[in-house]
Structure 1
């Protein structure tokens, strides 16, 4: 009886507090930060079991190993959530008549964006703390823009469809991280490294180049529904993805050069 009473109290807490609309942004952000810490610790704890060379890595390499494990987990989570919310749920469907598409949100979309805010805050903290070993100024700018735009969209409910579209680009992260893992493990000449490079090229082209073109085309078609969005929200919807698109093109150029070098060495 005592156990059932505790379970009932826990359910009430979950329903009335943690899942209440006003608390979803806070609990999801905190949950995102705590999840990052947990995944980072698990990555460092479990890696020596399947990679014997882990003990020989430098301290900074071990930190980056755990950091990339966290970013991979976040990328998988937010990519799945964004794809579902945009293309498989009815939340942003054109047939949906419940409000303008640029002002639609749900408890699930707010929760997903909150977890992402928690991740970007955690990762930005690690980048600044270890600067510049985990990334240069371009990573700082990228994460600052991400934190501001995602947090605003989460809290205001404005432009969530486009925020989620931009977050789909995180699906390229696992390939980027696997490339670093293989390089660090001395597997740069392996077939897996080559296949991952090819996969990284195609996923980057689709998720970080073509998707951004589609997003702006979608904005153009639904521009008449922008009424009701604040000036700051409209600025974030238009400008932040554009800045990120420029950075994506710069990184894509480096990916093409790297792939060309790898293919040339294989001939």
Structure 2
């Protein structure tokens, strides 16, 4: 009897598993539903990351419980943004430099019009993050960031959402999203500062990492993006007008903001190095 009951349970479990797989394959990962499912998945993942950061910090970081309410909210928010940054920067690097999808050797269609279910899903997850983070920034404005953060997230979210829904310019969107690789070091700077370690060696090393990653990901890579657009100008012009405007306008606007922030990073690093002498 016990063996029979065990077999019945296994068959029931297998049946539920098959139904779940069919549901995911036919609806969640079906091409028409990918953008919506991935955006919802991004929002849910952000919520989970926020709550997990709060849970871990409460038990393992003594300084966390001594923070003010808004400081704890920002702490959790930065944990959420760090997770997104790691996720999107790794996958963006893959799509831009390692995937055959956007390779010039791939002769299937214009590079500006190529997309895949995976690339669309990844973008949807990122849109979910930008929606979540922008909502928090606006709700607690200006505690989590000023107008420049609202502009940055609005531009980024709009550009990613357009590429996700239309399949246009996904290569350039991923190029810009690689810049998220700087986020973990920027967040670490805040964590070290709030923990009272502003004069530590770790703070100095982190400052150097911010400078280096920002220079590569937000200055040099943006120049490479502009150069790539120049080389593929004829293909870019095959996009819809909205896509063409986003390809030219968003990287330029974000590039200007990156230069402004980079100036502040250089001044801050020079000030920190001067104090160590």
TM-score range, shorter chain: over 0.9
- RMSD over aligned Cα atoms: 0.7
Counting only pairs closer than 5 Å after superposition, residues 1-267 of structure 1 correspond to structure 2 as: 1-267=11-277
Query: How far did 1:49 drift?
Result: 2.5
Q: Which whole-Å deviations, capped at 9, do the CAs of 1:204-245 have from their partners, x for residues lacking one?
A: 000000000000101111112124300111000000110000
Unaligned runs of 5+ in 1: none
Number of residue pairs aligned between Structure 1 and Structure 2? 267
**Counterparts of 2:251 and 2:235, CA distance in 1:** 19
What's the secondary structure of 1:132's corresponding residue?
coil
**Counterparts of 1:184 and 1:250, CA distance in 2:** 24
What's the secondary structure of 1:22's corresponding residue?
helix
Taking structure 1 as the reference length, the TM-score comes to 0.99
Bigger radius of gyration among the two: 2
| TM superposition outliers: structure 1 runs of 4+ over 2 Å | none
What's the secondary structure of 1:23's corresponding residue?
helix
**Counterparts of 2:244 and 2:238, CA distance in 1:** 10
What's the secondary structure of 2:31's corresponding residue?
coil
What's the secondary structure of 2:197's corresponding residue?
coil
Q: Which whole-Å deviations, capped at 9, do the CAs of 1:163-205 have from their partners, x for residues lacking one?
A: 0000000000000000000000001111110000000000000
Unaligned runs of 5+ in 2: 1-10
Taking structure 2 as the reference length, the TM-score comes to 0.95
Q: Is the 8 A contact 2:237 2:244 kept in 1?
A: no
